[in-house]
Amino acid sequence: MYNAFFGFKESPFNLTPDPAFLYRSQQHEEALANLIYGVQSLKGFVVLTGEVGTGKTTMLECLQDFLTASRIEYAYLFNSRLTVEQFFEMIAYDLDLRCARNSKTEVLIALNQLLIRNTNEGRTTALILDEAHNLEWDVLEEVRLLGNLESRRGKLLQIVLAGQPEFDRKLDAPSLRQLKQRIALRCTLKPFQESETGEYISTRLGKAGMSEQTVFPPELIAEIHVRSQGIPRLINAICDNLLLTAFAMESRQATLAMLEEVTEDMRLDWPGRRISVSRPSYSTDLREPTM
Ligand SMILES: Nc1ncnc2c1ncn2[C@@H]1O[C@H](COP(=O)(O)OP(=O)(O)O)[C@@H](O)[C@H]1O
Ligand SMILES: [Mg+2]
C-alpha cells in the first residue's frame, strides 16, 4: 500500500518468515550454524527454543534452503497438533514414501528402507519439527524412537525440534528423560539488544530497497525497542503500522506521536509503561499468526 510512496520494491515488514529478509544477528547466525552442523555431523537430536516471534521458524526456513541446496532429503512438519497416525502420514507424504501412508507399520518399514538406502549412499536424511512444544506425549515418544535408529556411522535420521521455552520444561518430564539425554545440540533465541533492533530495522528496509533509512529516527528506534521488547515479530508489526500511518499523513518520517497511536491501537503492553486510565490494559499478545 505504502510501497510506492517510500520507494520500496517489497513490503519491508511482512510477518512471513522469509529468509530473503534475514538479518544475521550473532545469535541467529549461531543458531543456524548449529542447526546445520547438527544435521551434517549426524548428531541425532538438535533443539532450538525461543519465545514466540524471536525467529525460530525463520531459522528453520533458512535450514531448509540449506538442505535443499545440499540435496539432503527432509520432512518438515510445521503443524504439531498431530495424532501419531497423522505424524507418520505427514512424514510419508513429505519423503514421498511409497506405502499405505495411513498405516504406521508400513510407513515405518518404508522409512527404514529409505534411511538405510540413503545412509549406504552417504546421504543424510532429516526430520524437522516446528512448534514442538505442542507435540503430544505419544508423538514425542515416536520421535524419540525414530531418533534411536542408527548405524555404525551415526544416527540414520537427523531430528531438529523447534519450540517455545515450555518445550524445554516438557523435556524435563521423567517420561522424556531418554529423549533429553540424546539431544546433542541446543540453541536458544533471545530478544534483540537495542543496537540489534536498529540494525534489524535498517536491514529489512535495505532489503526492501531503502539503502539509507531516514524513516525511523534514532530516538524512535530506541522507543520501538522498548515497546517491542526486542521481539522481531512485534518490531515488524509496529514498523508496518508506523509506515502505514506515516503514509496516511503524507510524511516521510515516523514520529513518537505516531508510535503512541500505533501501540495504543495494537493494545500493546510493555514493562514500565504508564497505565492509561482511558482503557483497560492488556498484556502483550504474541500469539502466532495462523499460516
Ligand atoms: N533474524 C531475522 N531476520 C529477519 N527477520 C526475522 C528474523 N528473526 C525473526 N524475523 C521476523 O520476525 C517474525 C517472527 O519470526 P518467526 O520466525 O515466525 O518467529 P517464531 O517462529 O520464533 O515465532 C517474522 O516476520 C520473521 O520474518
Ligand atoms: Mg514459528
Answer yes or no: is pLDDT of 72 > 90. yes
- Percentage of the chain modeled with pLDDT above 90: 86
Model confidence at 152, pLDDT cuts 50, 70, 90, reads confident
Report, as an integer, the average pLDDT of 218-247.
Answer: 98
Report, as an integer, the average pLDDT of 264-286.
Answer: 71
Model confidence at 275, pLDDT cuts 50, 70, 90, reads low
pLDDT of residue 153: 76
CATH 1.10.8 location in the chain = 3-10+192-265
Answer yes or no: is pLDDT of 290 > 60. no
Residue 228 CA to residue 170 CA, distance in Å, equals: 27
Which atom from ligand 1 is nearest to the alpha carbon of 50?
22
Residue 92 CA to residue 107 CA, distance in Å, equals: 6
Weakest mean pLDDT among 76-80, 188-192, 286-290: 286-290
pLDDT of residue 291: 43
Query: Ligand 1 pocket check: which of 233, 234, 239, 288 to mutate, most ligand atoms within 8 Å of Cβ?
Result: 233
Report, as an integer, the average pLDDT of 67-91.
Answer: 96
Report, as an integer, the average pLDDT of 6-30.
Answer: 97
Topology adopted by domain 3-10+192-265: Helicase, Ruva Protein; domain 3 (1.10.8)
CATH 3.40.50.300 location in the chain = 26-189
Which atom from ligand 1 is nearest to the alpha carbon of 60?
17
Model confidence at 183, pLDDT cuts 50, 70, 90, reads very high
Instruction: Write the pLDDT tens digit of every residue in 25-69.
Output: 999 999 999 999 999 999 889 999 999 999 999 999 999 999 999
CATH code that applies to domain 26-189: 3.40.50.300
Cell of 51: 519465545
pLDDT of residue 31: 98
Report, as an integer, the average pLDDT of 16-23.
Answer: 96
Which atom from ligand 1 is nearest to the alpha carbon of 58?
17
Bridge partners, 77 (sequence order): 129
Report, as an integer, the average pLDDT of 10-36.
Answer: 97
- The mean pLDDT of the chain is 93
pLDDT of residue 272: 87
Amino acid identity, residue 110? A
pLDDT of residue 289: 52
How many CB atoms sit inside 10 A of residue 214's CB? 9
**Does residue 207 line the site of ligand 1, with CB under 6 A?**
no
pLDDT of residue 154: 80
Weakest mean pLDDT among 101-115, 180-194, 263-277: 263-277
Residues with CB under 5 A from ligand 2 (ion): 56-57
Nearest to 186 by CA among 81, 67, 37: 37
Q: Which DSSP category does 249 fall into?
A: T
Query: Ligand 1 pocket check: which of 58, 129, 287 to mutate, most ligand atoms within 8 Å of Cβ?
Result: 58
Q: Give start and end residues of each alpha helix (H) in 43-103.
A: 56-69, 84-94
